[in-house]
Amino acid sequence: MCSRQRWKDEVQLKNFCLGYQEPRHFLQFEWGWPKLYIGWRAFWAAYHLTWIIVSGFLSWQWTTSKANEIKWFIYLTDWTYFVLTLAALLDFTAVVYTHIARADIVQGLTNDITWYEKTVWVLFNIGNCGSVVVSILYWALLYSASTTTITAVDVGTHALNSVYVFINMVVIATPVRLYHVFHTMIYFLTYVLFSFIYHKSGGTSGTDKPYIYSILDWDSAPGTAVAYSCLMIFLAVPIAHVSLFLLYMLRVAVFNLLLNRDTIRDENAISMKEIDNA
């Protein structure tokens, strides 16, 4: 299982940054299989790209006019699904490129994480945590069984998005840093500022309401908007991120147990010590 030392390592201040000693973990499942991992990344890149295109074409389902369909770009749901899709596409591209041009990373012969793996990592953090928060906010605050008509796009962007995050998190080897919660906090703060500016500029929703979301009505209920903004940024996002971090730690612990990795590491450490003392 994850040792006490592992937990101590995770809370070191250096983990605010994007350093990582085993960059090959961005290219494989938790148990390895780097070549099959390419197929996994290709499938999800194609899946998310298809869904985001479909959601754009079906924007007439939640708008009152053809002109309002462009307002797909004002919604947090669509921002977040775009980040999730971008992360999947860049992840697939990075994996393929690394297999072609950086065999040393694939084989675990280097400890230097590349700039493009760092980029994917940030998008991975935002897309995963953001998707979970969006799903929770939608079903808890915006959905109404009596007035809301559930569409395929709603299912894809408010439910299946988080299902994907969970499935992906359980099997891939990409790490989650506790301190990287600030990535998603900055992202949500950016959206809150956008919604405020858009609202004060006279912008309307896809259904011609004077706000994008009822909980972010900056004219009629500014206090409520501030309260919900703070709850999203300083409560919902940290809770979602910590949950994903704990899932990551559980995944590592389970596979350490199944693959006997801790014992192997200990034996290797003893062997190295014996060599040093020889």
Residue 6 lies in a domain: no
Residue 90 lies in a domain: yes
CB 127 within 8 A of CB 83: yes
Average pLDDT over residues 207-211: 94
Phi-psi sector, 33: left (phi>0), alpha (psi -120 to 50), beta = left
d(CA 245, CA 251): 10
Q: What is the pTM of this model?
A: 0.91
In whole numbers, what is the pLDDT of the chain averaged over residues?
A: 91
- Which one has a higher pLDDT value, 142 or 273? 142
Residue 249 has pLDDT above 90, yes or no: yes
Residue 8 lies in a domain: no
- Which one has a higher pLDDT value, 278 or 76? 76
Residue 6 has pLDDT above 90, yes or no: no
Residue 9 lies in a domain: no
Range of the domain at 216: 18-277
208, 172, 198, 183: which is closest to 63 by C-alpha? 208
133, 127, 115: which is closest to 26 by C-alpha? 115
Residue 49 lies in a domain: yes
Residue 195 lies in a domain: yes
Report the domain count for the chain. 1
Phi-psi sector, 110: left (phi>0), alpha (psi -120 to 50), beta = beta
Residue 180 lies in a domain: yes
Q: Where are the alpha helices (DSSP H) in the chain?
A: 4-10, 34-57, 76-101, 103-106, 115-137, 152-158, 160-171, 181-200, 222-231, 237-259, 261-277
Residue 133 lies in a domain: yes
